[in-house]
Structure 1
């Protein structure tokens, strides 16, 4: 506890349970993610449950900062790791399978992708971004077995608890499917991070808060909060240009994020509070390009309100 900060999961002025705080206390060193593109697809891209993918997702499958698809996975890892090590020479690595749906393949293909990184001593953990409808029991059993050697994280894109929003965004699965997947994950040693997006088309402030309140009751270890980015060459960009829908201002976003943090359990790790849109592809909102300003504004406003993550959380 520092800086007269009432929040216990903090070594500085942050009033929420940051990813850096968790990594520092878990591994006792600087740790960074190395994003990778394993060239998977998604079931709502290839016709299994839909076409075109999520309307907010671009051609790179939310992997704009992942490795070069022309390179094999290990070269991607080595190149990106070396970039990180120039900044943090003694840092540890998490192999982050980021782009598209990274369990959407037969089990033997997944083993071929993941096993080489399990064998690297400089890889402390694997983080695997996927969907709730792409984690069959055999895959869960395999990933659970890996937990004996390293931390295994599954990142589940949920975005909203509301099926009407999911349908509008062409998610291709329901909240009930997400809950079923989460119940099966809870029987393993796999750590779970969930993604929510604020400002999805026609969602109200109350709906965004209800999504956070719902996740506060579920067996998840971490949360990523994002502001919606309208990106070029996406279905949502076409929708927005044809019939613009309201987007949150910076002030509204900060207010909603703080109110979401207040209802989450204090031990839940907050991996992100804002995203990174590629400047050349971003249509709106422009304020999201200034990530440091967004985070600093959240910090200052939490201090001004004298609030913190979990202040309004109740287990009942």
Structure 2
């Protein structure tokens, strides 16, 4: 009998530890914005960001949270009729709003049939203690994963990509969240301008010292309509876009430097061809 010994902790196995049924995330656009878009910290958002790259067709702010979930369920239930779902608050900053508004949207998701938990994507500078108090109580009754956009551990990079927060704020948010017993995840982009392969790999050791449960990695993608795309056209020599084999080697090196118990959810991202400038994978 062959025994499967994975080389890393994958997200599917992680979900099996929490659920006895097959579980699928459904993305939601709940109509939030970001502090570096609305002027409270900045304008224009992160230089690489175009939310069209990861929003499914059913994600529109003119639809309620419940409606988006029901449409997402219809897509997946055709193949897996017994599937359960996690409501994934993905677009923009999903803890950036009045507390009651946030509660209403989270509860609307949890009250949707077959939804068994929440995944909340947010920024490190948008997690007030008042909201953490609420999420701590919610976590006692429902599956909850809070996912922070880390992007880089380098403050100079964070300034360059207009993140509007420091890595120290990332550390603080992750530690405060995990200390409440809440599953805490992170997201990083490999290949941001100005970061060498050696600097990228050293990031893995830094992140390993944080109480992260899950981590998403993906390659830098240049997307039409973003400020970074303009920067690339103007100064392409400032960017290093990894080829397929080179990126695979980078990811292997990165993972080998990560704390082995961190659950790795993904290694790449694929943007719609009509929006993607580079890399194309050729």
TM-score band by shorter chain is: over 0.9
For 1:269 and 1:221, locate their aligned partners in 2 and report how far apart those are by CA, in whole Å: 6
For 2:253 and 2:116, locate their aligned partners in 1 and report how far apart those are by CA, in whole Å: 33
Alignment map for 1:302-313 (pairs within 5 Å)? none
Deviations 1:13-54 (CA, angstroms, capped at 9, x unpaired):
xx2211111112321221110000001000001111111000
CA apart distance, 1:56: 0.4
For 1:71 and 1:187, locate their aligned partners in 2 and report how far apart those are by CA, in whole Å: 35
State the SS of the aligned residue for 2:261.
Answer: coil
1:192 aligns to 2:146 (yes or no)? no
Q: Which residue of 2 is the match for residue 84 of structure 1? A: 76
1:39 aligns to 2:31 (yes or no)? yes
For 1:156 and 1:59, locate their aligned partners in 2 and report how far apart those are by CA, in whole Å: 16
For 1:231 and 1:170, locate their aligned partners in 2 and report how far apart those are by CA, in whole Å: 16
Q: Which residue of 2 is the match for residue 54 of structure 1? A: 46
1:130 aligns to 2:115 (yes or no)? no
Moved over 4 A (4+): 2-5
1:273 aligns to 2:263 (yes or no)? no
Deviations 1:216-251 (CA, angstroms, capped at 9, x unpaired):
111010000011110000011111111112211111
Normalised to the residue count of structure 2, the TM-score between the two structures is 0.94
- Out of 190, 205, 212, the residue aligned to residue 213 of structure 1 is 205
Q: Which residue of 1 is the match for residue 108 of structure 2? A: 116
State the SS of the aligned residue for 1:104.
Answer: coil
Contact 1:77 1:95 in 2 (8 A): yes
Contact 1:34 1:81 in 2 (8 A): yes
Contact 2:23 2:85 in 1 (8 A): yes
Deviations 1:274-303 (CA, angstroms, capped at 9, x unpaired):
112111100000119xxxxxxxxxxxxxxx
- Out of 55, 64, 67, the residue aligned to residue 64 of structure 1 is 55
State the SS of the aligned residue for 1:134.
Answer: coil
In structure 2, runs of 5+ residues without a counterpart are none
CA apart distance, 1:186: 2.2
State the SS of the aligned residue for 1:247.
Answer: coil
1:165 aligns to 2:166 (yes or no)? no
Contact 1:153 1:192 in 2 (8 A): yes
Contact 2:205 2:259 in 1 (8 A): no
When structure 1 is superposed on structure 2, of 24-33 and 217-226 the one drifting more is 24-33
CA apart distance, 1:63: 4.1
CA apart distance, 1:89: 1.6
Q: Which residue of 1 is the match for residue 256 of structure 2? A: 262
CA apart distance, 1:265: 2.3
Q: Which residue of 1 is the match for residue 90 of structure 2? A: 98
Relative distance call for 1:139 and 1:250 in structure 2 (3 A) is same
State the SS of the aligned residue for 2:186.
Answer: strand
For 2:159 and 2:67, locate their aligned partners in 1 and report how far apart those are by CA, in whole Å: 37
Deviations 1:45-99 (CA, angstroms, capped at 9, x unpaired):
1111111000000154x64226122211111110011101112221110000000
Q: Which residue of 2 is the match for residue 284 of structure 1? A: 278
How many residues end up aligned between the 2 structures?
279
For 1:264 and 1:202, locate their aligned partners in 2 and report how far apart those are by CA, in whole Å: 22
For 1:17 and 1:192, locate their aligned partners in 2 and report how far apart those are by CA, in whole Å: 15
State the SS of the aligned residue for 2:168.
Answer: helix
For 1:162 and 1:18, locate their aligned partners in 2 and report how far apart those are by CA, in whole Å: 26
For 2:87 and 2:247, locate their aligned partners in 1 and report how far apart those are by CA, in whole Å: 30
